[in-house]
Amino acid sequence: MSLAMEVGRLAAEQVDRELLPRVSAVGVEVGDRAGVVIDALEFCLQAVLTEPPFDDARPVLERCRGDVLRLAWIDVEDGIEDGDGDRDGTAAVADGGGNGPSPLGDAPLPSEAGPPRGAGDGSRADSNQGKGVR
């Protein structure tokens, strides 16, 4: 759920506040080695995108290769029809080439950063030793 909440927060940062209720879809690229259960992320992201400040946006998870986890695009219904009668409001967030910093921010995502500090080094067990926890 925390990854979905972070995607929602970052999507909200990319769109003007008054347009947030008109976000209709959020695209996220998820790599096959990102360490993410795609169905779980999609379920949680659906819950995040149907609550304020969003109205009823849908998640679109795009599977790709590698350890990528990136906010790729946001579709905002602007109410303006283009020449073919369709609404045109999709905004790309990523650089498209997969190069450069992640649009999800400068901090690495869990899939990029490796295990959290102290994971697997016994430090948690040491901190719980006096509490009768193993």
Tokens of 99: 């190069």
Q: Exposed e or buried b for every residue in 11-48, given b needs 16+ CB within 10 A? A: bbebbeeeebebbbbbbbbbbeebebeeeebbebbeeb
pLDDT at 101 over 60: no
Q: What pLDDT sits at residue 71? A: 96
Among 32, 27, 96, smallest CA distance to 64 is for: 32
Domain ranges for the chain: 2-116
**Using an 8 Å Cβ cutoff, are 57 and 47 in contact?**
no
**Using an 8 Å Cβ cutoff, are 24 and 87 in contact?**
no
When comparing pLDDT for 60 and 99, which is higher? 60
Assigned CATH class of 2-116? alpha beta
Chain segment 121-131, per-residue pLDDT in tens: 444 444 444 44
Q: Helix-strand-coil percent breakdown of the chain, rounded to 5?
A: 35, 20, 45
Give the pLDDT band of residue 89 (cuts 50, 70, 90): low
Tokens of 34: 């990102």
Tokens of 109: 């995502």
Chain segment 21-73, per-residue pLDDT in tens: 999 999 999 999 999 999 999 999 999 999 999 989 999 999 999 999 999 99
Q: What pLDDT sits at residue 103? A: 43
Give the global pTM. 0.61
Give the pLDDT band of residue 90 (cuts 50, 70, 90): low
Q: What pLDDT sits at residue 78? A: 73
For residue 27, what are the β-bridge partners? 60, 73
Computed over every residue of the chain, the mean pLDDT equals 74
Neighbours of 130 (CB within 10 A): 7
Tokens of 18: 């008054």
pLDDT at 17 over 80: yes
